[in-house]
Structure 1
């Protein structure tokens, strides 16, 4: 958890994608997240966390379904949503956080 805490305390927004290999909607999110990163570049960090390999962290953050996206700013959660989120919506959420 301490490594995760360090990663989300960056000055720039950090979008965390909780996913699973077996999850269909998670596969849909992958190219959307890549497009968001391509669009926003270094102004955002995107972390992908496999819930099957990080069950303790997912449980601690009450991640019940995948994909779950959580946006952090300076270590504080500022937005959270489960399910597929469209690229334009994600970009607006990150820019306005």
Structure 2
């Protein structure tokens, strides 16, 4: 996949790799090898499209995926939890503990 518009489009690739995705970035291109089984992980959405990709990957993954930075997702997808649940997904929103909030501030 090659992106000729926005050079930083692939900054969420590391988050997908945490989920066992086999992706290599070369310049403006991402080389995706598969199939692989994605595994649930703690990941962070860095922007709207990255958040959407992580939600989809999380739904495909085995286990639970925790996504922080959901404010990015909320900006572009209203009522995403309810809509995906309506399609049969198992997805929910939880409040972060104060310790988790501090950890996010540090990163």
What is the TM-score when the length of structure 2 is the normalising length? 0.27
Specify which structure has the higher proportion of helix. 1
Select the structure with the greater relative contact order (CA < 8 A; seq sep ≥ 6).
Answer: 1
Specify which structure has the higher proportion of strand. 1
